[in-house]
Every structure is written in C-alpha cells, then in structure tokens.
Structure 1
Amino acid sequence: MNQKILETLEYDAIKKQLQNKMVTAGGAQELATLTPTDDATEMQQWLAETADAMTIIRMAGGMQLTRLGNIQPQMKRLKIDADLNGTELAQVGRVLFATGQVKQFFENFIFDHDEKLLNLQSYVDRLITLPEVTRQLNQSIDQDGRITDEASPELKRVRQLILGTENGIRQKMQEYTRGKMAKYLSDPIVTIRNDRYVVPVRAENRNKFGGVVHDQSQTGQTLYIEPAPVVDLNNRLKEAQLKERAEEAQVLHDLSAALQPYQDEILENAKVLGHLDFVNAKALYAIDLKAVQPEYSPEQHIRLLQARHPLLDQKQAVANDIILGEDYTAIIVTGPNTGGKTITLKTLGLLQIMAQSGLFIPADEYSTVGIFDNIFADIGDEQSIEQSLSTFSSHMVNIVDILDKMTPNSLVLFDELGAGTDPQEGAALAMAILDAVGAIGAYTVATTHYPELKVYGYNRVDTINASMEFDVETLRPTYRFMIGIPGRSNALEISKRLGLSENIIDQASQLTSDDSQELNDMIQDLVDKRNLVTKQKIELEQQLQLNRVKTNQLDQATEKIAVEQATMLEKAQKEANHIVAESRQKADRIIDDLHRLQRQGGNVKENQIIDAKGALNALRQEPTAENNRILRRAKAKKQVNIEVGDTVLVPEYGQQGTILRKLKDGKYEVQIGILKMVLPGAEIEKQSGVMATKATKTSKPKSSAKKSRSVSTNQAMNRANASATLDLRGVRYDAAMHELDRFIDSALLNNLSSVEIIHGKGTGAIRKGTHEYLRSHRAVKEFNFTGPDQGATYVEFN
C-alpha cells in the first residue's frame, strides 16, 4: 500500500488509538510495522484472530496481560556473556511469568467455556514455559529490580550482619547525641560522611572527642567526627557491605548464566506475548467503535452498511450505506461543498484499509469488503508553493501518477475531479480521466461540482450517480449519502429562504436553461420517491416487528398447550401401566399355578400360556415418539437448502423475493421488490418442491432402521426357540427385556434346568437390566457370569 494514501486517510491516527490499548513493547513494535495486506488469506486470518480476542473479552473480560518492556537488548548482552543487572533481570522475569500466566489462562478458558480459539491457540502453543528459571528470578529479584534476601543464603546472612552492625552503631552514637557529650555538638544528630557514621562537633570542642575527622562545614566551625569507640564498628560495617556487593554480583552472574541457554525461547515468548497484546488491542478498539467483523467478498463486492468514519465521534457521526462493485464499479458524487462528500470518500477508503489490516470496521453486521493491491486518492488542496504549482497543477501531477500505477485491482478516490480550471474544460477532462480509469478496470469514486458529470454518470456503463442530501428547510446538509440520485443545485431555493427579492429569483429562473431546470426537477422527483420508499420501508419494518411479537406470543401459547397435553397423556399412560403391572402380577400367579398343574400331569397347553402372557404384555403402553419430542420442546423443523438466486416467500409480508446472499447465523439477504432485507431462514419459505422431495428421501433411512430392528428382534426370538441360549446383543433395551421375559417363560415351560443369556458388555444397560429381572424372578435359583469378560450370564432354575 502506498504511503501517500495512508497519510491522506490518517491511518496513523488509527494506529495511535490502538497504541493506547497496548501494554507490551512487542505489541507496540508489531503495530509500528503494521501495513494493510493485499493477501486475502492473510486478511481473513488477521480478522479471525481479532474475532477470537473478542470472544475472550466477551466471555472472560480479556487476556489480562501485564506490562512488558523490550528485552531484546538484554538478550543481546547475554549473547556476549555479559551479566544483567537487577532491573534487566526483572524485565526478563516478567516475560517468563507472563508466559506461564497466559498459557494457564487459555487452558482455563477452554475448560471453563468449552470454546476453542483455533486462530490464537497456535500462538499459545508456541509459548515455552521455564518453571525453574522463572522461580529463581521471582525469588531473587523483586518487581523493581532489587535483589531480595532470599537470593542466596550467604546474602541473607551478610545482610543480617549489616543490619545488626548498623543497629550497634546507632546505639553507640546515641550516647553522644543524648548523653552529656551532646552539649559539644553543633546539632544532636547522626549523619554519614565517606560511607561512615559521624556526629557534627563544634570545632572548639575537637579535643573532647577522639576518633577521625571526615569532613567540615564551609565555615569550618563544624567538624564531622567519627568517635573512636565507633571506628571499629564502622570498619566491620564496611567489610560486610563489601561482602554484600560481591554476593549480589555473584547472584546476578548466576541468574544471567541460568538464562543464557534460553535466549531464543525467551525472545520467542516475548514476540508471541506481543502479538497477543496486539490482537487484544484490536478487539478492545473494536468494542470502543462498536465495530463488526467484515465479510470478505472474493468478487470484490464492497457493501459497507451504515458505515461511520472511525475518527469521528461515533455518537454523532452520520452512518451511510456505501455499495460498490455489485452493479457498478464507479460512483459520481455531485452536490455543494460542506455536504459530506469528502468524508464519505475517506470513510470508504479508510474502512477498506482497516479491514485489510485485520481491524473490525465501524459498520453494521453483514458488511463486506474486497481486497485491493493498492488504494489511490487525490483529496484536498495540494498546492505547492515550493514547486510554484497551482492547485490544478498539483492535482494533475498526482492524477498522472495514479493513472500510471493503478491496476484492475485498485481502488481510486477523486475529490473534486477537474476542479481549479475552466469549468467546461475541467468537466471534459474529468470525464476523460474517468474513462481512462474505467478502461483499466479499477474501482473509482469521484466527487465533482460539474453538472455535466451527472449526465455522464447516467449514460456510462457500470457507473451510477450519487449525492449528499441537503435540507432546504433548515439550509443545512444532512450528510446522508444517496446512491442513484445526482446532486441538484439549491441556490435559488436557498436564496429565496434567505430573503432575496422575488423579482431577482424570477429573473434568475428565466436565465436558467430549460435543460438545467428539467434536470433539477428530475432530481427533486427522485429525492421525493426515495423519501417515500424510505418511509414505506420504516413502516414495513415496524409492521414486521409487531408481527414477530405476535408470532412469538402465539408460539409460546401453542407450546404451552402442547406440553400440558403431553404431560397429561404421559400421566395417564403411567397410571395405565400401573394397572397393567398389577394385572401382570396376578397373571404371574395364575401362570405359576398352570405350571404346577402341568408338572402334575394336568392338561394345559403351552401355547395357551404363552398367548395369555403375550396378551397381557400388549396391554402396556409406551410413550409415543411424538409425545417425547414435544416434552423435549423439539420437533425438528425440516430444513430446506436455500441457495443464492432461489425464489422464496416471506409470509409476514405476503411477498415473494429472491435470495441475494447467504449470510452467517442462518440468515439471508432477500430482494423484495426494491427493498433488500436480512431475514432468518425460519421466516422464509422456498417456493419449490424441494421439501417434498427431501421428506421422501429422509423417510427411507427411518424405515430401514425400523426394518433392521425388526429383523434383529426376530433373530433373537428364533435363537430363543432353537436352544437354551438367548442372544440379546444388538437389540434395543425395551425389546431385549421383552424377549428375555418370553425366553424365561418358554424355558420354564420346557422344563429346562438352566439357560445362558448373552448380553455383551457395551454400555452395560442390557446386562444390568437382565440381572435386575433375574434377581426379582421367583423361579431363578441363582445366576453368574459365564466368563471373565462378563459378556454372558448362566442361569439356574429352582
């Protein structure tokens, strides 16, 4: 990206606002080198990283990074075997401590929120923690770079000796400042000269004190004397202080040596922490701007919805839709000065540059951006006194440079194209320049005063007129950007409202060409129609909101009724099952009597017993699948695959529309007449036979599954009739329990003394259910697993 456009659009002002949100030198360094990328993959990666940081802020309040300095000089010193001082070691220690904190934070975040941060996790994985070195640094060096007593046992001992010696000196000195010798002092205090404790003595009392004179006052009337009894203590103190310095130097040397093997890892940690700080700052900046993540359009469709200039007060900035590249690649903006044309140009250029820098943009959701190899602009008064160039000449020099460097993948912004010269020649030149840009294929937006360019914008392919709205009633611009409507002259209306004579206004009207007057009338008609459409859109949106409220209320009431109905039905089924259970207990007693009669030679047929038992089992009612879905508040709606270009019905409007874009979160952009709306998929219906087709297709697997279950059950029954073994593997729980019941009855009727039930291990549900059934059955003597894998159970009967 050329440096001139970055200066023109005040890119550095954006970076300065980002800088205020950073806490690390690494982040500041990355920001300093930041420039927009022209690689689509890289831009999307940067935006995705910012989105991850937004997720962290939303769920956990941010990464909580600590302030970190630049440690590159320290690492260079370690490379030449130099020892770091306490302050330098403290800076390195903060980097190592922050490394551990950040890794722990991400681990906790993923565990607590079950949220994968795919775009930032790769950076966190690059962090290398050095627990032992970090512990040594934290133990030996405090945050201000001072060496602690815990740095080494010897240092702690020496410092305790120094403290004890200093206390002894102070106590000795108090004999001079508070005792009978105090009257010989200039001032009853203890001070230090030449690193030794002394007292200020009047010169005439010198002979009253022994010891050493270390200094005197400027007048010579006061001598600073180290009394003889203190000399030995001061000597001991000096020796201890020398030992302290030597031990501190040894501590610094040892810590530097411990860091030396990890220079590369520590630098990499600082770099990664800086990048995380940089990404976090981008997210914080997005929150300040109420910015959103723009979508990337490979087709180079720029759609900035309710875009705001990021350097303006966001509460006062007028938001505008700026659309380029879909139906047209050039916009001609006409209208008077101070209407907001220039700021609209800058908003377009700056938001595109921000997106290509991985920054969220101050616009509405579903805004899209392209990616340009370069953005060029000729904006502002560039008159050069040094080069003796007029305003027109300086603009021409800039435009010549733009035309020479632009490509089909460039965005070109012209402010007041062709201004500064004869109007007729300037208009002709402006049209020729726009034709040259169009021939290359670059995107362009140009502002102008020339009315001739309104006709140019109307007649040229891939070109559209636009203007900034002006309120004639208040004589103020509204700063609203109007696509498709050229700007009109308001001079006569403004002059009339300001009190200019009617005669003068009438005469001016007569002098105005018919073509010019017709053009102004046409523009006014377009403005009126636009205002009417805007009013209708607002009314439709209000009606839509009201319909949504009513629909939600109806859905809630319907769901409440369905749940109550399902609950009542389930309660009734439970009561019925209770009655059936009692009946089964009675039937079990009857069957036991029948078995006894059969063993005693009674004439009772086996099939009669089995049929009776089956009829009783059939009385049990299971909750229907439909009922269960209602109770779970879920009857899945059939989802139809809606694609761009499909015709859909919007029931709330009673209108058909066409799908323009498929957005995220299951939403779609729909064209309904002249309106474009963003609607959830649940609020539109595809107008085709796709649903019926899909319903038919989706029904097949269900019937297949049902068939499979039926075959599995029949196989289990056949195995039960063929031998004294029942295989329940692959059978659903309810069906398995039913087959087990019938199998045990059959075994008893056939006077089998034992059977084997194969239930498998699996989740253990069928195994557990089998054992509960056997434990409660009166005919079962005992049962045990048949092998160590516990996949089958051996049963003996009474």
Structure 2
Amino acid sequence: MLLKRMLHLLEFDKIKEQLQKHAATTLGKEKVSELLPFFHFEQVAHALEETDEALTVIRLKGQAPFGGIRDVRAAVQRSVIGGMLNENELVEIETTLHGARRLKKFIESVQADDEADVPILIEHCTQIEPCNALEMEIRRCIDRDGRISDDASPELKLVRNQLRSYESRIREKLEQLIRLSDNQKKLSDSIITIRNDRYVIPVKQEYRSSFGGIVHDQSASGQTLFIEPNAVVMINNQLREAQAKERVEIEKILFALSEKVASYSDTLQLNVKQLAMLDFIFAKAAYAKKVNATKPKLNQNRYLRYDSARHPLIPSEEVVPISLELGGSYDTIVITGPNTGGKTVTLKTVGLLTLMAQAGLHIPVAEGSEATVFEHIFADIGDEQSIEQSLSTFSSHMTNIVSILNHINERSLVLFDELGAGTDPEEGAALAIAILDHVHHIGARCVATTHYSELKAYAYNRESVINASVEFNAKTLKPTYKLLIGVPGRSNAFEISKRLGLKASIIDAAKRQVSSETTSVDNMIIELEKTKNKAERELAEAKRIRNEVEIDKRQYEAERQTFEKEKDRMLKAAEQKAKDAVEFAKIEAESIIKELREYRKNGVKEHKLIEAKKRLEAASPQLVERKQNVSKQKTREKFAIGDDVELTHLSQKGSIIEQIDDGEYLVQVGIMKVNVNASQLKKIAPKKPEGERSFISVKGNKPVVKTELDLRGKRYEDAQVEVDRYLDDAVLAGYSKVAIIHGKGTGALRKGVHELLQRHPNVKSIRLGREGEGGLGVTIVELR
C-alpha cells in the first residue's frame, strides 16, 4: 500500500506512460505496464546495464527491427487444446518467427562485428530458437494476403482447378445470353453478378418468363429480378459442390498447421517471452535517448549525487536543472523558503529519479552522477497551495507520516513535503524537528521541505544535516527554481511588499516587530547567498578557462594528426619515387641483358654473362616498405618449390625454384633468377578457376517466388518485413535481379525501402526503374 501510494505521489506511472510510447509491440507495452523499481543492488545493476547495451546498439546500428512481431500466445494456446487457427493467426505466427530471426541476426551482428560487447542482449537472443520448418510450412501453405495457396495440398489444387473451370463455363454461357441482341432490352444491365453465392443476371420484371430458371433476389423497387437461368443451374450446382469440397480441404490444411503450431508451443511461448523482454529493453533505451538521460554510477554506500538533474515530466525548455548529493557529508537536507518557490519540484525530482534508476531506467542527469539502491522509498507529498489548512489535512498527513516512521530503516530514503504544516506553527515546527531527529537517528537518508523559520537553525545545530533553499529574484518577484545547497531560504516578504508599493513607514514598523535574532539570521542568509553566488561565478569562470584549454588541446591534437598525415604522405611519395627508380633500373637492366646476349652470340663467354647479371642485381636499389604498428620481429614464413610469391621490395611477382638456405630462396622473376630473403617474400594464394561458384540445394516443397514484390498500400513497418523475407526467397530461388514495386506517392515508402536495401547483405546494387519498367514507382535490385 505504501509503495503504491509512493509511486502515485512521485508520478512514476506517468513515466511508464511515456515509456510505453517507445515500445514497438503490444508485448513490450505489456512489459512496461508491469514495471516496478527493484530494491536489490544486483537487480538494479543488471537492469541499468541492459538499458545501456540497447542504447549502444541504437547508437551504432539504429533502432532494432521489431516489424511483424505479434502477441501470438493466445493462438498458440488454442492450438495446444486442439483448436483450429485461422489464416490470419497463422500468418501472425509466421511473421513473428521471421521477425524474431531478423531481430536476433541484427543484435548478434553488433557482437560479431566487434563493434560493442552486449552480453545481456546476446543471452536473450540465445534463448530465441528458430522454428524454420514451421515458418516455411506456413509460408508454403498461406500466401502474403492470408489466402490458402493452391499448392498447400494436391487435393486443394485439383478442387480449385475445377472451381475455375465451372466459373469459366458459367460466365461463358451467361455472356452468350446477355450478348444476344434479343435479350438486350430484357435486361436491366448487361452484367453478370452473384446472389446467394450463385451467378445470376439482372432481368426486367416483365421479362421474367423469357429466361426461366430461379429468382434469387430483386431490386428495392421490384422492377429488376436477379435470375439464375436454366442453362447454368446444373453448373452452378456443381460449382457449389466444389466450393464445399474446397472448404473441407482448407479446414484439413488449417487443422494440420494448427497441430504443427501446437508441437512447437513451448518454443513459441519462450520466443515470445524473450521478444517481449527485448522490446521492453529497447523501449527503455529509446526513452533514455529522447530525454537525454545517462547511466548513473551505482554504489552500495547509500550515497547519491545528481548533477544537473532535470525532472523528466517538465518540458525541456522550462525545466531548471538542480544539483545535490545525499549520504556523503550530510544525510539530511532541509529545504526552507516560501511556497511556490520550487521546493516540492526538487523533492519530486530526487524521489522520481531514484525510482527510475532502481527500475533500470537511465536518468536525466549529467555524466558521472551517482545513484544508490534503497530498500524502501517513502514520500509524504501534498499540494499545500490548493487545499485548506485544517485539522483534517494535518491528520491525513500525520497518519501517513506515522506509517512511514513505523517502516523505515537505515537503508530508506524519506521525502517529507511541508513537514509539520497544517497546525499551529510553533507546535508544527517542534514536531518537524522531532521527526527529523528520529529519522536521522535511525540512519535513513532524508530530504524535507518546510516554510518554518525555526528549521533554518536546525541544520546548524546538527551534524550531517544541511540547509538548502530555492533562489528567489526579489527584483522580478519570481522564483528562479535554482537550488542553493548550504543556504537557508528567507521569506522576502519585506522586499516583495516594497516592490509592490507598500509605504516605507509600514515596512519599517513591521521590521521593528521582528526579533533581532530573526534579523541576524536573515542578514546571515543574505551574506551566504552573496558568498555562494560569488563562488559559483568563480567556478563558472574556472570551467570556462578549462573549456578553453580543452579546445586548445583538441586543436593541437588535430594539428599534430594533420602533421603526421602530411609526413606519411611525403614518405609514401618518396617511397613511390624510389620504386619508380627501381622500375627504371629494371628496364635498363633488361636492355643491358639484351645487349649481353648479342655479345654472347659474338663469342662472349657464359661466365662473363653471369657475372654481368650479378652486378646488375647487386646494383638494384633495395627498398623496405614502411609499415605502421607492426612488430619488427616477424615469424619467418616457409615456402615450397613452385609457390607463387610477391617480392614486396620490388612489387614484382615470381615463383620459388630453389631454397638456398633457411632464410633465402631463388626466385624466377620473368627471365631473371633472383636470390631473395624470405622476409621480402609474400605468398600469393592460387586463384579459383573462373566460373566456379557455390550452389545451395533446397530440398522439399517451396513456394514459387515471383520476380517482383508489390508493396503498394503497405505500411513501412510491414513493408520492411516483406522486403527482407522476399529477398531471402529470391536468393534461394537463384534470381540475380528482382523488382520492388512501391509506387510513387509521397516518396516516403520508396525512401524507407531504399535505406533497407542499401544495408541488406544480399543486395549488390539498386536503381530506379527506366521507361517501360515502372519509372519512379519501381526499384530494380541486383542481388549478390
């Protein structure tokens, strides 16, 4: 009861309403509606971490795909007890299975690409078991429009062929009747229509006997009769019999599919559970992104520090951030000052953010903020500006406070709004002090608001207690809603009255009525405010200087990186120049060798020719490619005779013809044989013969895949699912090119389809249709 009241007072239900808007499925929305804060450290830490993982995935990959996923638990349960599922229910099961596979692949790709470590999400994905056989069987039997396919069974295909034959014969006979010139005047309209599932023609009432047959209906005026002529009565009867056979066969197919669903019931129920959890987790992440929330550091020391905390239910352009800590230097904060200054908002901000953190939600605070886990969170908050101060109000608040005091311990967070209000000020202040003393003695963390001046001195007389106030601008007569820690609030009554035009003599007389102690306290508060404002200005100046230093540091780093890039560019240019010199030397060498051959023909000795070659090899420039971040000590690669290799220092290719010793090989490069160190050789993998490719063999029945997919009239979410599934089918069918028909319209569907196609692993390229292909309404997709 206390928890429910506390959640209501701190408006946690409104946070859940906002959170539900980010859930993609009814499964996720249901999970959000069940959300409650945790009160154990491990649970809170796990819930915060899973939200952080989903936020990382969104940042790297975009929003997770939940299209096609439906709540199929009721349908699955009906199949278990022997019920027959209809076509729509089966299609929803199939799209849910497809959507689950797609979502699992999406999340696993983050881990597989080493972009981020998301163990909690991967654990949920691991528990999603594919039901490929069930998915493919439903897809084989039911087309995308929810109609049983002709190929669902041989019997159905035969019956439907008969149906089409009967319908064709009936239409042919009726068209012969209505085309006869003698019959034109006897018909109200030259059309064939259906009444009571039988084909009929509209005949004028006075020509009823001209056609014979059966009257099935008449117009409202009675001037037109819908008659089934004798010529088609027998064929219509045959058609009705075939239709009855079709219904029986469809029921057999639906029952068979329902039994198959029942055999997968445990897996389907588990999959739905994991899909609900994943949608819930990604909803938490999407909400965190929307309100610019961060993951707080979590501790077990009953210590919280919220920097630049914002109440999530106040519009971002209106909310004033507050900063406070509790559980470090002080355990109790007493916020004093006049009403309408923002004290209650501060109290609710602390309580609501603590609830959100313990529910696994990121909270709207600055990076580096800390949160803790309380076993109990209690709140007594009332709108003292809108209800009459009376004994009944005091009794109501005191009843709630008594209940709170009976349940608190050292691991509790207690929030009191206008503590002691609703009764005699002197007695109320005394009660407030006694209650705060009791809470402080137990060791609970406490934030209390009050307008009693007696509590201003309370913090100065107690250890681990501090005053706070909400700043008020006496010039504009409006609160700034800025929280001042360490400075008690003051009423500002004299300043406000003076600004509103009250005579100075009256104000002076009023001041004389105030005790010297109160005046001293107010003067002290004024000095504290001045000192705090000065300190904040100096802090802001220090932050400004630090920011300037950070900017200079980043600029220096950018310039250093530019310098390094330019240095690398120049080195590469120099290396390229050297390589060009080598190439030139090689050409020159080949020319010399050609000349030497001529000399050999004219009697030059062979050993002189060999010596000349060696001199040429020795004269060749030796270049070592510059590598970054590579260890100098590399494992020496082994080569075999016949291996194709690349000479890395010359950018030439050759083959091993002899191993001279452990680290040197004789390599054939063109017409030259060169001694090369193993460190300057790189093995080249042999090429696959052209035309060699892999084929996937798919056994069993599969649906015929068209070369085009029509998305016109579809919602983008459902279109995503259909495109993804269709591309899988097209690849399995061996198509190299397909067409996606999205229509022209506003272009939104086309844009979404293009974004999906551009990142799909099976898509090689896309283009809009040309003249004769559908133009802007069609996208031609080339598959890998």
The CA distance in 1 between the partners of 2:58 and 2:18, in whole Å, is 18
Q: By how many angstroms is 1:571 displaced?
A: 12
- Give the structure 2 partner of residue 588 of structure 1: none
Greater mean deviation of Cα atoms: 214-223 or 562-571: 562-571
| C-alpha contact (below 8 Å) 1:383/1:390 kept by paired residues | no
The CA distance in 2 between the partners of 1:405 and 1:131, in whole Å, is 54
The CA distance in 2 between the partners of 1:154 and 1:735, in whole Å, is 69
Q: By how many angstroms is 1:512 displaced?
A: 1.7
- Give the structure 2 partner of residue 301 of structure 1: 303
The CA distance in 2 between the partners of 1:574 and 1:21, in whole Å, is 56
Aligned with 2:443 (options 424, 441, 444) = 441
- Give the structure 2 partner of residue 348 of structure 1: 350
User: What TM-score does the superposition give when structure 1 sets the normalisation length?
Assistant: 0.70
Query: 1:676-721 deviations in whole A, cap 9, x for unaligned?
Result: xxxxxxxxxxxxxxxxxxxxxxxxxxxxxxxxxxxxxxxxxxxxxx
1:487 equivalent to 2:511? Answer no
Query: 1:466-510 deviations in whole A, cap 9, x for unaligned?
Result: 000011111111111111110012111111111111111111122
- Please list, as runs of the form range in 1=range in 2, the aligned pairs for 1:230-249 lying within 5 A after superposition: 230-249=232-251
- Please list, as runs of the form range in 1=range in 2, the aligned pairs for 1:120-139 lying within 5 A after superposition: 120-139=121-140
| C-alpha contact (below 8 Å) 1:304/1:364 kept by paired residues | yes
The CA distance in 1 between the partners of 2:247 and 2:461, in whole Å, is 86
Query: 1:758-791 deviations in whole A, cap 9, x for unaligned?
Result: xxxxxxxxx9994436779xxx9999x9xxxxxx
| 3-state secondary structure, aligned to 2:548 | helix
| 3-state secondary structure, aligned to 1:304 | strand
| C-alpha contact (below 8 Å) 2:391/2:422 kept by paired residues | no
Q: State the one-letter code of the partner of 1:166.
A: E
- Please list, as runs of the form range in 1=range in 2, the aligned pairs for 1:319-468 lying within 5 A after superposition: 319-381=321-383, 390-468=392-470
Q: By how many angstroms is 1:35 displaced?
A: 0.8
| C-alpha contact (below 8 Å) 2:218/2:224 kept by paired residues | yes
| C-alpha contact (below 8 Å) 1:383/1:389 kept by paired residues | no
Q: By how many angstroms is 1:165 displaced?
A: 2.7
The CA distance in 2 between the partners of 1:732 and 1:97, in whole Å, is 50
The CA distance in 2 between the partners of 1:341 and 1:384, in whole Å, is 15
Query: 1:371-417 deviations in whole A, cap 9, x for unaligned?
Result: 111111111149999xx971111111111111112222111111111
The CA distance in 2 between the partners of 1:363 and 1:479, in whole Å, is 17
| C-alpha contact (below 8 Å) 1:18/1:281 kept by paired residues | yes
Q: State the one-letter code of the partner of 1:4.
A: R
Q: By how many angstroms is 1:560 displaced?
A: 7.2
Q: By how many angstroms is 1:236 displaced?
A: 2.2
- Give the structure 1 partner of residue 699 of structure 2: none
- Give the structure 2 partner of residue 680 of structure 1: none
The CA distance in 1 between the partners of 2:661 and 2:401, in whole Å, is 85
| 3-state secondary structure, aligned to 2:109 | helix
Query: 1:121-177 deviations in whole A, cap 9, x for unaligned?
Result: 111011110112111112223455432334234323433432343233233323444
| C-alpha contact (below 8 Å) 2:335/2:488 kept by paired residues | yes
User: What TM-score does the superposition give when structure 2 sets the normalisation length?
Assistant: 0.71
- Please list, as runs of the form range in 1=range in 2, the aligned pairs for 1:141-180 lying within 5 A after superposition: 141-143=142-144, 145-179=146-180, 180=182
Structure 1's 390 and 35: CA in aligned 2 closer, same or farther, altered over 3 A? same
Structure 1's 382 and 137: CA in aligned 2 closer, same or farther, altered over 3 A? farther
The CA distance in 1 between the partners of 2:484 and 2:674, in whole Å, is 90
The structure, 1 or 2, with the larger RCO (C-alpha pairs under 8 Å, 6+ apart) is 2
Structure 1's 496 and 83: CA in aligned 2 closer, same or farther, altered over 3 A? same
- Give the structure 2 partner of residue 513 of structure 1: 515
- Give the structure 1 partner of residue 718 of structure 2: none
The CA distance in 2 between the partners of 1:369 and 1:120, in whole Å, is 23
Identity %: 44
The CA distance in 1 between the partners of 2:146 and 2:666, in whole Å, is 75
- Please list, as runs of the form range in 1=range in 2, the aligned pairs for 1:657-672 lying within 5 A after superposition: none
- Please list, as runs of the form range in 1=range in 2, the aligned pairs for 1:47-66 lying within 5 A after superposition: 47-66=48-67
- Give the structure 2 partner of residue 311 of structure 1: 313
- Please list, as runs of the form range in 1=range in 2, the aligned pairs for 1:696-775 lying within 5 A after superposition: 770-772=662-664
| 3-state secondary structure, aligned to 2:447 | strand
Structure 1's 459 and 633: CA in aligned 2 closer, same or farther, altered over 3 A? farther
Q: By how many angstroms is 1:564 displaced?
A: 8.5
Q: State the one-letter code of the partner of 2:196.
A: N
Q: By how many angstroms is 1:67 displaced?
A: 4.5
- Give the structure 2 partner of residue 652 of structure 1: none
Structure 1's 574 and 545: CA in aligned 2 closer, same or farther, altered over 3 A? same
The CA distance in 2 between the partners of 1:123 and 1:306, in whole Å, is 34
Greater mean deviation of Cα atoms: 108-117 or 562-571: 562-571
- Give the structure 2 partner of residue 12 of structure 1: 13
| C-alpha contact (below 8 Å) 1:417/1:448 kept by paired residues | yes
The CA distance in 2 between the partners of 1:200 and 1:571, in whole Å, is 89
Query: 1:558-596 deviations in whole A, cap 9, x for unaligned?
Result: 7777898999999999999x9xxx9xxxxxxxxxxxxxx
The CA distance in 1 between the partners of 2:288 and 2:39, in whole Å, is 22
Greater mean deviation of Cα atoms: 190-199 or 286-295: 190-199
| 3-state secondary structure, aligned to 1:105 | helix
Q: State the one-letter code of the partner of 1:515.
A: E
Q: State the one-letter code of the partner of 2:531.
A: K
| 3-state secondary structure, aligned to 2:108 | helix
| C-alpha contact (below 8 Å) 1:25/1:68 kept by paired residues | no
Structure 1's 271 and 144: CA in aligned 2 closer, same or farther, altered over 3 A? farther
| C-alpha contact (below 8 Å) 1:86/1:141 kept by paired residues | yes
- Give the structure 1 partner of residue 255 of structure 2: 253
- Give the structure 1 partner of residue 32 of structure 2: 31
- Give the structure 1 partner of residue 771 of structure 2: none
| C-alpha contact (below 8 Å) 2:667/2:674 kept by paired residues | no
Q: State the one-letter code of the partner of 1:370.
A: T
Query: 1:36-80 deviations in whole A, cap 9, x for unaligned?
Result: 111111111111111111111111102111243322222221222
- Give the structure 1 partner of residue 768 of structure 2: none
The CA distance in 2 between the partners of 1:188 and 1:569, in whole Å, is 87
The CA distance in 2 between the partners of 1:435 and 1:341, in whole Å, is 21
Structure 1's 410 and 315: CA in aligned 2 closer, same or farther, altered over 3 A? same
| C-alpha contact (below 8 Å) 1:150/1:156 kept by paired residues | yes
- Give the structure 2 partner of residue 724 of structure 1: none
Q: State the one-letter code of the partner of 2:664.
A: E
The CA distance in 1 between the partners of 2:106 and 2:524, in whole Å, is 63
Structure 1's 157 and 493: CA in aligned 2 closer, same or farther, altered over 3 A? same
The CA distance in 1 between the partners of 2:246 and 2:572, in whole Å, is 84
| 3-state secondary structure, aligned to 1:390 | helix
| C-alpha contact (below 8 Å) 1:384/1:391 kept by paired residues | no
| C-alpha contact (below 8 Å) 1:53/1:62 kept by paired residues | no
Structure 1's 509 and 151: CA in aligned 2 closer, same or farther, altered over 3 A? same
| C-alpha contact (below 8 Å) 1:192/1:198 kept by paired residues | yes
The CA distance in 2 between the partners of 1:101 and 1:95, in whole Å, is 10
Structure 1's 769 and 549: CA in aligned 2 closer, same or farther, altered over 3 A? farther
Query: 1:733-761 deviations in whole A, cap 9, x for unaligned?
Result: 6999xxxxxxxxxxxxxxxxxxxxxxxxx
- Give the structure 2 partner of residue 747 of structure 1: none
Query: 1:329-384 deviations in whole A, cap 9, x for unaligned?
Result: 11100011111111111111111111111110011101111111111111114999
Query: 1:160-219 deviations in whole A, cap 9, x for unaligned?
Result: 432343233233323444432132234444332222112233333222122122334566
**Runs of 5+ unmatched residues, structure 2:** 586-621, 638-658, 679-784
Structure 1's 90 and 733: CA in aligned 2 closer, same or farther, altered over 3 A? closer
Q: By how many angstroms is 1:259 displaced?
A: 1.8
| C-alpha contact (below 8 Å) 1:292/1:365 kept by paired residues | yes
| 3-state secondary structure, aligned to 2:361 | coil
- Give the structure 1 partner of residue 280 of structure 2: 278
